[in-house]
Each structure stands twice: as structure tokens, then as C-alpha cells.
Chains A and B, each alone.
Chain A
Amino acid sequence: MGHVKEINVLIIVFTEMRDKLRKWREDNHRNSEQIVDVGEELINEHASKLGDDIWIIYEQVMIAALDCSRDDLAWTCLQELKKQFPGSQRVKRLAGMRLEALEKYEDASKQYDSILQDDPTNTAARKRKISILKAQGKSAEAIRELNEYLEQFVGDQEAWHELSELYINEHDYGKAAFCLEELMMTNPHNHLYCEQYAEVKYTQGGLENLELSRKYFAQALKLNNGNMRALFGLYMSASHIAASPKVNATVKKANVKYAAWATNQINRAYQLAGRGTKENKCSVKAVEEMLESMQITMS
């Protein structure tokens, strides 16, 4: 009887691990340390039970292993995949990624070039080449290549977002805004894009941009009323507009109202958060005082 129970527990553990890996794959989570932990055990102890799943797990674990500097594990996974899928472009790309992890950028680039020779539309290889430029700190070139890529593959969301990040790091806010506009158009329900767009507009400054930022912070909140950045952003942009000497009385009044509403919401959120935990008493107090002091300067 004891044996049966033991085996049942093992099966449960095994299926849990396999399901976890699948969930992280589907959600595209980059929790590499966990993936290596779970994946390594799965591969070492339960390979026979995995069936055809094992190949995609090898790929997932290999990439995570590279992220954690576990070249030993990455190498093992790569060998298994090479054996099973000789001549595969997908495996070639993984080999390239390993070279990148070892900072052998020229060799990695050659690997991707050879993929592109056989298949010029291979987007994965093109994007890896751009990642190499980024890793080498060659931002201007990465931006140029990414723009060229997007002319051909205009629907690649990941690429648009990467480009917006590159532009933000270069302080080119106008172009970053353009990328985020593309993303908002194709993903109208994504509150994060709205909020990021609002942050870029706020950073650009000037009354017109502040008003735009306020509108998009509000939109982000509509899509997700738990987005604290959007809530604070709404408060700050409305406060700045209300305090500006360039606005007329009507606009000032409206923005004072928006700011007051945001203040209320922020206070409520922090009261709720503060209940039961001693931990964030400091931040609750800091927010209260900040809101008070900003109100004084506004009127």
C-alpha cells in the first residue's frame, strides 16, 4: 500500500513540474532560475515520461540555462536537440544564442547569416542579429536595423516595443511615442501601452503634451483601474496643468477636479493596502504628505 502512495506522489510531482514549465512557456516568462531548477530535474529524472514534449522542454531549458550562465546544462540540451533534429534552422538559432551568451558575437553573427542565406525571411535570425548590436552597446545601429526590419515585418509587436525602448534610452521621445502609437492602434485594450505612451508625452513636456499625457493616463485607468502608475500620472499631469499660468479658468477648474479625484483614489488605494500590514506604513505616510504638499503649491 505504501508503494502505491509513493508512486502517486511522484506522478503528481512530475505532472506539476511539467505543467509549470508549460505555463511559463505559454506566458513567455523569463523566470530563468526557476525554469532551470524545475527543468533540470525533469530532464534528469523523468525524461522517459515526457514523450515528445521533451524537445520543446530541452529548448526552453537551454535558453533559461544560457540566461543563468549554466553552459554545462545548455550544452547538454543543445546536443540532444542536434541529434534529434540535424540541420534544423531552429536548432541552429539556439546554437547561435549559446555563442552570444559566451560573447562570441562574430561567430554568432555568422551562424545567423548562414540561416538567413538559406531562408532570408527567418525573422528569428534577424532579430538575434539586432540583439547582438544591442548587447555590444551599438544602439544607433540596432535602431537602424530594427527600423529596416519593421518596414518588412510591420506587424511584429515585440519589435515595435523593443524599438520604443531603444528610442527611450536614446532620449528620442518623439520616435518612441510613434512606436507606442503603433502598438496602441493594434492593441487598443492594452493599458500598459497607454500608460507608457502617457509617460513619454509627460517627459516631452509642454502644455499640449501634458494634456495628452493626462488623457492617456486616464485611458489606461479606464482599461485597468488598478494601474497605480496611471493613477499617479493622472494626478501629476492634471496638477501641473492646473498650476500652469497659460491655461484659462475653465481648464484650470477641470484639472483641479481631475487631480482631486486622483488624490481620493490614491488615498483609498493606500488605505486598503495599509490594512493589516505594518510594512508599508512608511509609504502610506509619505504619499499622504506628498499629496498634501502638492495641493498647497497648486492653489
Chain B
Amino acid sequence: MGEVELSCLAYVKMYLHGCLFPRCSVNGLLLSSSPAGGTVCVTDCVPLLHSHLPLAPITQLALTQVDVWCAQTQQRIVGYYQANACVSDNSPTPCALKIADKIAEQCNNAVLLMIDGGKMSPDYRVPPIVMYERKDTRWTLKDKHTIMLRQWEETREIASQLLDSGDHSLLVDFDSHLDDITRDWTNQKLNAKIAELSSPANGNV
């Protein structure tokens, strides 16, 4: 099928989400600010849960709120990501498939992204991700060559830096937001930090 591009912002936040809750399964939504058709450009992500992923109420709530926010900000939900607590098994769980199916109803080239926990060490050379796309009614593995991460080295560097400086604790997922609703699940602060690190002034790009 089509090509998928993953932005630095989306990748870094997903990665940090996994790092922030190393003992839990985590999940989130992939967003795009580009118009539909052609390459799927994942430009941002919203980290959702780190507990009770299969339970319905909070997932439904989060999907609805993110939907509303996307409409306000001209973005679309184009995919779903998950990292399993058990790093030896990175296959999509039934709840991952369910949520991805729901997203595919609204977005016909939606992607399902599994983070490979076992490959997340600091010296990894390729992105520790596995992507699936919908063919007929089943989610099938995407050809690696159709997945693009521009400036991969810089992206990886930024993720490492934020982890080392402890800034990954700035990340707010929907679960954390419900624990303290003054915290911002759109992560404006963290987004700004990531933008700063990836700007040409810092010698990147």
C-alpha cells in the first residue's frame, strides 16, 4: 500500500512515553496535520494510557476528546501506537487491533504501530518500530521500505538527550491528565522543547 512518514515530534514523544512507564503497556494515537490522500504523514502523537489498556470508558473518553481537539486544530487521527510491558512480545494485542479498527473506519490508510521494547537501547541503529496496515480486514506487516523517518540520526539524538536530562518526565499522557487535570495532554511544553532541539540553530538538520 502507501508510504508512511513519521515525524521527529511523533517519534520522540512515543519513545519517551515508553521510557516514562517502563513497567507498563502504553498506547497512544497518531495524528496528521496533512490533508488525506497520498503519503500518510504522521506529524504528531497523543500519548493515552499506561494502565488498563483493554478497559473501555477511558479509551472512549480519550478518543472523543482527541477527536474534538483535532477538529479544532485541523489534524486527523491516522493511527495508533502501543508498546507492550512484556518486551519479548511486540505483537498487537486484541485491544490494539480493536482500537486500530475503529480508527480505520474513519481513515482508510490508518496505521498500527508497535514499539519493539527489546530494541530501545541507546545504541540502537534502526527505529525500534513495527508497522501494520489494513489489507482487506486484516492488519498485515508493512514493507519496511515504505516507512520513512527523515533525519533519523538527529531524531534519535534528540530522544536520547531528553531522556538523559530527565525531561521525559515532562510528558503528560491522558492517564496522567486524569490524575491531575491541570496537566496538559497536548504537551505544548514538551513540543516546544523538542522543536528547540531540532531547530537549525542547534546544529541539527
User: Which residues of A are in contact with B by a Cβ distance under 8 Å?
Assistant: 30, 135-137, 165, 168-169, 171, 196, 198-200, 202-203, 205, 213, 228-229, 232-233, 236-237, 269-270, 273, 277, 279-280, 282-283, 285-287, 289-290, 293-294
Chain B residues near A (Cβ < 8 Å): 23, 52, 54-58, 60-61, 64-66, 68-69, 71-72, 86, 88-89, 93-95, 177-179, 181-186, 188-189
Provide the residues of chain B in CB contact with A200, threshold 8 Å: 55
- A137-B89, A171-B95, A283-B65 provided; 14 other pairs, C-beta below 8 A? A135-B86, A137-B86, A229-B57, A233-B57, A236-B61, A270-B181, A279-B183, A280-B181, A282-B69, A282-B188, A283-B177, A285-B72, A286-B66, A290-B65
Checking A165, A228, A237, A286 against B65 with a beta-carbon cut-off of 8 angstroms, the contacting residue is A286
Name which of B69, B94, B181 has the most chain A CB atoms within 10 A of its CB.
B181
Contacts of B95 in A (CB 8 A): 171
Contacts of B181 in A (CB 8 A): 228, 269-270, 273, 280, 283
8 A-B contact pairs sorted by A residue (CB < 8 Å): A165-B52, A198-B57, A236-B57, A279-B183, A286-B69, A289-B68, A289-B71, A294-B64
Chain B residues with CB under 8 A of A269: 181
Residue B55 contacts which of A168, A279, A282 (CB distance < 8 angstroms)?
Answer: A168
Chain B residues with CB under 8 A of A198? 57
Docked Cα-Cα span, A280 to B57, in Å, equals: 22
Closest 4 pairs (CB-CB, A-B): A203-B56, A279-B184, A282-B186, A286-B69
Given the known interface contacts A202-B56, A269-B181, the answer about A283 and B186 at a Cβ–Cβ threshold of 8 Å is yes
By a CB distance below 8 angstroms, the chain B residues around A236 are 57, 60-61
Contact A232-B61, Cβ < 8 Å, known A137-B88, A277-B182, A280-B182: yes
